[in-house]
Amino acid sequence: MAEATAGAAPVLLSRRPSHTLRACLREPKVVAGGCFILFLLVLALGASWIAPKDPLEQDILLGATPPFWLPGAEPGHWLGTDDLGRDALSRVIYGSRVALTVAFVAASLAAALGATLGLVAGWYRGAIDATISRLVEIWMAFPPVLLSILLVAVVGAGVGSVIAAIAIIDWTRFCRVVRAETINQASADYVTAARAMGFSQGRILLREIFPNVLPVLIALVSLEMGIAVIVEAILSFVGLSVSSDTPTWGGMIAQGRQLLHQGWWILAAPLAMLFLTVLAFNLLGEGLRRALDPVMRR
Amino acid sequence: MSDAALAIADLNAVSDRDGEAILRGVSLTVERGETRGLVGESGAGKSTIGKAILGILPRAVRVTSGEVLFEGQDLLKAPAALRRRLIGERIALIPQDPMTALNPGRRIEGQLTDGLRLWRDLSAGAAREAALKLLDEVQIRDPERVLRSFPHELSGGMRQRVLIAAAFALEPKLIVADEPTTALDVTVQKQILRLIRAMQSAHGTSVLFVTHDLGVVAQICDRVTLLFGGRVVEEGRTADLLQAPRHPYTRALLEACPRYDQPCAGLRPIPEQIIATLRAEIAA
Q: Half-sphere exposure of residue B241, counting CA atoms within 13 Å on the CB side?
A: 24
- Round to whole Å and give the CA distance between B47 and B53: 10
Q: Give the residue extent of every domain in chain A.
A: 18-297
pLDDT one digit per residue (tens) for chain A, 298 residues: 333 333 344 445 545 566 777 888 888 999 999 999 999 999 999 988 988 888 888 887 787 788 888 887 778 888 888 888 888 899 999 999 999 999 999 999 999 999 999 999 999 999 999 999 999 999 999 888 788 888 888 888 888 888 999 999 999 999 999 999 999 999 888 999 999 998 999 999 998 999 889 888 998 999 999 999 999 998 888 888 887 788 999 999 998 898 888 878 888 999 999 999 999 999 999 998 888 765 443 3
With a threshold of 0.90, does the pTM exceed it? no
Same domain? B15 vs B80: yes
B197 and B279, same domain (yes or no): no
> Burial level of B82, CB count in 10 A (0-12/13-18/19+)?
exposed
Q: Please name the member of B87, B102, B115 whose beta carbon is closest to the beta carbon of A190.
A: B102
Beta carbons within 8 Å of A131's beta carbon, 6+ residues apart: none
For residues B134 and B180, membership in a common domain is answered with yes
pLDDT in tens, B78-127: 998 999 999 999 999 998 888 889 988 888 999 999 999 999 989 999 99
Residue A212 has its nearest CB partner, among B93, B104, B156, at B104
- Which of residues 92 through 131 in chain B touch A, CB cutoff 8 A? 92-93, 95-97, 99-106, 111, 114-115, 118-119
Q: What is the ipTM of this complex?
A: 0.85
Q: What one-character-per-residue DSSP string does A75-138 give?
A: TT-TT-B-TT--BHHHHHHHHHHHHHHHHHHHHHHHHHHHHHHHHHHHHH-HHHHHHHHHHHHH
Shared domain for B161 and B120, answered yes or no, is yes
**Shared domain check, B268 and B230:** no
The count of domains in chain B is 2
User: What is chain A's alpha carbon radius of gyration, rounded to the nearest angstrom?
Assistant: 23
Residues B228 and B265 both lie in one domain? no
Report helix angle B124-137 to B156-168, nearest 10: 120
Q: Of B276, B227, B233, B274, nearest to B255 (Cα)?
A: B274
B159 and B43 together in one domain: yes
What is the model's pLDDT at position B51?
A: 92
pLDDT of residue A11: 47
- CA atoms of B255 and B252, how far apart (whole Å): 5
Number of Cβ within 10 Å of residue A187's Cβ equals: 11
Summarised one tens digit per residue, pLDDT across range A213-262 is: 988 899 899 999 999 999 999 888 888 888 778 899 999 999 889 888 88
Q: Are residues B75 and B139 both part of a single domain? A: yes
For residue A40, the number of C-alpha atoms closer than 13 Å in the C-beta half-sphere is: 26
Q: Residue B134 and residue B169: Cα distance in Å, rounded?
A: 7
Topology given in CATH for the domain delimited by A18-297: MetI-like fold (1.10.3720)
Contacts of A197 in chain B (CB under 8 A): 88, 114-115, 118
Ramachandran region, residue B55 (left: φ > 0; alpha: ψ -120 to 50; beta: rest)? left
Chain B positions touching A10 (Cβ under 8 A) are 104-105
CA distance A273 to A252: 11
- The pLDDT value recorded for residue B214 is 87
- In this structure, the answer to whether residues B32 and B47 fall within a common structural domain is yes
Kindly state whether residues B170 and B188 are assigned to the same domain: yes
* B239 and B250 both lie in a single domain: no
Tell me if A71 sits within 8 A of A188, measured CB to CB.
no
Point out which residues pair with B61 in neighbouring strands.
B15
Q: Say yes or no: B264 and B220 in one domain.
A: no
Residue B31 pLDDT exceeds 90:
yes
Distance CA B170, CA B90 (A): 7
Whether B268 shows a pLDDT value over 80: the answer reads no
Tell me the per-residue pLDDT of B212-229, one tens digit each, with 9 for 90 and over.
888 889 889 999 999 988
B84 touches chain A (CB under 8 A): yes
Q: How far is A91 from chain B (nearest CA, A)?
A: 45
Does residue B261 carry a pLDDT above 60? yes
Q: Does B8 touch chain A (CB under 8 A)?
A: no
How far off is chain B from A188, nearest CA to CA, in Å? Answer: 6
Which residues form the domain of B254?
246-284
B145 close to A (CB below 8 A): no
